[in-house]
């Protein structure tokens, strides 16, 4: 199979993302299928626990969803390797025997997520305390935007670690200069049809869930939600993941190939 060739333009990159994923769907399923039973098992556990102990509340049990994110991270690591090393040359991660650089990928991702949540939460609290509702609303938007900006500045750390390349967060911060808007925009353009599909399915799922909950009760509602969510877990979620990962790997590869050249960037 032909290896991925990085590009700079948003339109060209989004097209390359679609073509590459379409040409390597068999590789994606080969990587995702071993992870899928664990992911579905996590969500099934949440559904059962929610039906048994949280049926009357608006929020269900979520431990399984949190654990499932580990297996989705394994998919992200594998797909970074597919894009960067090639569909014929990559080796899949063993999620039960992670290597040192894979643990670095997971650990830094977890740390950034925790710092982001705590930082944004603290900033929002302070803005509300100082500026009231008006200042709090503005501060919330500002805090989220700044937090996301910092996350994207560190984002090249992850494709590098996925393929066991040496990189620091400081180096990632410098390498991402000019790429952030492209990293965000390219997968959005590449996935707009998929997004319409998931929105349409979400509408149908919402209607079905309404009839299940009103007709059979809240306990059946949690089980029904799991059943109706199966297409999301099996099809939509991994596709959105690999689209985003392909975009990130694309611009990481482009940045590494053009480190010593003057590149016109947005």
pLDDT at 19: 97
Work out the percent of the chain whose per-residue pLDDT is above 90.
69
Query: By the 8 A CB rule, do 42 and 50 touch?
Result: no
Regions of the chain short of the pLDDT cut 70: 1, 55-58, 134-136, 260-266
Q: Where are the alpha helices (DSSP H) in the chain?
A: 10-23, 25-32, 36-53, 63-85, 100-153, 157-162, 169-175, 180-190, 192-216, 218-228, 230-231, 237-257
pTM for the model stands at 0.91
pLDDT reported for residue 266 = 43
Tokens of 54: 């949280």
Angle between helical axes of 218-228 and 192-216 (0-180°, round to 10): 160
């Amino acid at each position: 199979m032909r290896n991925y060739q990085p590009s700079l333009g948003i339109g060209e990159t989004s097209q390359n993302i679609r073509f590459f994923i379409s040409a390597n769907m068999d590789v994606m399923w080969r990587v995702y299928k071993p992870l899928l039973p664990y992911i579905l098992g996590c969500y099934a556990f949440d559904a059962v626990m929610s039906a048994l102990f949280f049926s009357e509340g608006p929020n269900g049990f979520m431990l399984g969803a949190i654990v499932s994110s580990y297996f989705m991270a394994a998919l992200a690591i594998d797909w970074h390797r597919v894009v960067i090393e090639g569909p014929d040359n990559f080796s899949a991660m063993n999620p039960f025997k992670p290597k040192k650089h894979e643990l670095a990928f997971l650990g830094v991702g977890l740390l950034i997520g925790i710092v982001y949540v705590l930082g944004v939460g603290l900033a929002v609290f302070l803005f509300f305390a100082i500026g009231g509702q008006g200042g709090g609303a503005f501060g919330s938007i500002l805090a989220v935007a700044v937090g996301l900006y910092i996350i994207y500045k560190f984002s090249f750390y992850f494709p590098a670690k996925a393929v066991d390349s040496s990189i620091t967060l400081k180096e990632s911060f410098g390498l991402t200069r000019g790429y952030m808007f492209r990293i965000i925009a390219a997968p959005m353009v590449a996935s707009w049809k998929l997004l319409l599909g998931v929105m349409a399915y979400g509408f149908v799922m919402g209607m079905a869930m309404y009839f299940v909950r009103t007709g059979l009760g809240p306990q059946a509602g949690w089980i029904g939600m799991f059943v109706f969510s199966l297409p999301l877990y099996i099809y939509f979620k991994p596709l959105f993941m690999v689209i985003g990962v392909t975009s990130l790997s694309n611009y990481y590869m482009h940045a590494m190939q053009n480190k010593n050249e003057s590149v016109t960037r947005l």
